[in-house]
Structure 1
Amino acid sequence: MSGGGDGASAPALRIRGAALHRGSRELWAGLDLDVAPGEFIAVLGPSGSGKTTLLRSILGLQPLSAGTIHVGGRVAHRGNPRIGYVPQQRPLPPDTSMRARDLVALGVRGTRFGLPLPRRGDRERVDQLLRDVGADHYGDRPVGLLSGGEQQRLRVGQALADRPALLLCDEPLSNLDLANQRGVTDIIDRQRRENDAAVMFVTHDINPILGRVDRILYIAGGRFVLGTPDEVLQTRVLTELYGTPVFVLRAGDRLVVVGVPDAEPHHDHGDDESSAGAHA
């Protein structure tokens, strides 16, 4: 199974010969991946397998041990406005002294040098982003008093501020109920469809996004497989990847993966999911 878009346009993301090591341990090596504009890639695997570290490398925050990463034809670098980043949902303190719109405004103004002074058009852009993520009705409320799902919509709004060509999502549905999982996923998927933004979506549960995914990058045991969901989410494929019997079962429209080994040691920085299965 190999990566690559349809060849109709330059890839939003190109990775060649990539390897990552932590000390003497190889997380993975030999990764070649082209992500086409508008393509939705799910990144799965156990804790510590290097999924979050891969996103950090694309963001220019952590060097590869080998290989190259290009975003929109340019070498990956810190602060790239072509990339939007959606982190895990982590509740903000109730006494956080900003409104919902102020949090989104950080994405609109935060990439400038010096003080993030407002400029003409900023308020209109913030208002539009609030509408885009379904947060306009609570834009003036204190952000610390909002629910986890409401706060996460604002983080997506931040990530969309520069109209990114590549959207990196690191467990963005964690700790959200099913309704908010669906809402956040719909926002991200709409950005992909309407603006041709490529998406790399790290998750421990493939089910909320299964119908949107074009390909899966599944990393485990220092190896990886890459292909369509039907190609990757098979008993035979995952058994070979893990080197131990793993079973993929279907329960209605959901997948359940049984027999996945315990999470690997030496967790990724920020990579704190507890398993890889249906929670793949």
Structure 2
Amino acid sequence: MLGVEGVSVSFPGHTVLHDVGFTVQAGQFCGLIGSNGSGKTTLLRTILGFQKPEAGRIRVNGARGAASIGYVPQKILLDPYLPLRARDLVSLGLDGGRLGLPFPSRKRWTAVDAMLEAVEAGPFADQRIGDLSGGQQQRVLIAHALIRRPSLLLLDEPLANLDVRSVAGIVALLHRLCIEQGIAVLLSAHDMNPLLPVMDRIVYLANGHAASGSTQEVVRSEVLGGLYGYHIDVIRVHGRVLVVAAGSPEDSGPLHAHDPVHVARVP
């Protein structure tokens, strides 16, 4: 469904991605994991066609370039006083890019209602979007991205700033939709732990490079050490993963214990 082949992206004085490659098949849930500045958003923008790579290519659904892609961006500022209901926002996903007002029809609203029910947002479909909680807004944004039935869904940090219960609910929802609709899901996050029960594959970004495969194949000391450029310990405890980096202060820039990707430096 998605093929990223040898993609490199640079900005003036800085290489963000270097020879990144991985695949995601239909019906697979893939986590794109990395700390701030690792290139997650740049990679998603490249897949969408917003950023042109210096090298490599992107194939979506077997074709070159972006085909049927749904996208939930990292930050959407919703005015709490905007007179827009949840169902109105989802309906914009059908033809929000077209000029003129959409023609209201029963078929249109049936499709909107069906998608709202699919993401368990039916009970607040008629509420003002600005009055919804963070978790409820994410469900509406996912419905907006899926209303045109894409084959690939990209989500940029959809779990950021959500409470633990909302995170669990969104992850379970996306996993269910991935299975039921057979779509490929690529979700970027700092913290891999909420995704561990549902991830089929992981793409781990660090220092512009990527390692991809199953969690067992990628989240290992030797693999992550190769990405970071110094020794990495991977500690598994109580069903969670802690990545601990042992290195000197001059190694590769600062890493902090509070970073949600769980990379901590020890002396």
Q: TM-score by structure 2 length?
A: 0.88
Q: Distance in 1 between matches of 2:208 and 2:120?
A: 40
1:55 and 2:44 equivalent? Answer: yes
What is the RMSD of the two structures over their aligned residues, measured on CA atoms? 2.2
Choose from 136, 160, 163 the match for 1:150: 136
Q: Distance in 2 between matches of 1:157 and 1:88?
A: 15
Q: TM-score by structure 1 length?
A: 0.84
**Alpha-carbon distance, 1:118 to partner:** 3.0
Q: Tell me the residue number matched to 2:259.
A: 275
Identity, in percent, stands at: 39
Choose from 33, 37, 62 the match for 1:73: 62
Deviations 1:176-205 (A, max 9, x none): 111111111122111210111111111111
Q: Tell me the residue number matched to 2:240.
A: 254
Q: Distance in 2 between matches of 1:141 and 1:260?
A: 50
1:166 and 2:155 equivalent? Answer: no
Q: Distance in 2 between matches of 1:97 and 1:252?
A: 45
Choose from 93, 98, 102 the match for 1:117: 102
Does the CA contact (< 8 Å) of 1:217 and 1:225 recur in 2? Answer: yes
**Alpha-carbon distance, 1:166 to partner:** 0.4
Does the CA contact (< 8 Å) of 1:20 and 1:26 recur in 2? Answer: yes
Q: Which letter does structure 2 place at the counterpart of 1:244?
A: Y
Query: Structure 1 unaligned runs (5+)?
Result: 1-11, 266-273
Bigger strand share: 2
Query: Structure 2 unaligned runs (5+)?
Result: none
**Alpha-carbon distance, 1:25 to partner:** 2.1
**Alpha-carbon distance, 1:91 to partner:** 5.7
**Alpha-carbon distance, 1:279 to partner:** 7.0
Q: Which letter does structure 1 place at the counterpart of 2:261?
A: G
1:197 and 2:186 equivalent? Answer: no
1:32 and 2:21 equivalent? Answer: yes
Does the CA contact (< 8 Å) of 1:89 and 1:175 recur in 2? Answer: no
Does the CA contact (< 8 Å) of 1:15 and 1:70 recur in 2? Answer: yes
Deviations 1:105-124 (A, max 9, x none): 1112224x322413431111
Q: Helix, strand or coil for the counterpart of 2:35?
A: coil
Q: Tell me the residue number matched to 1:213.
A: 199
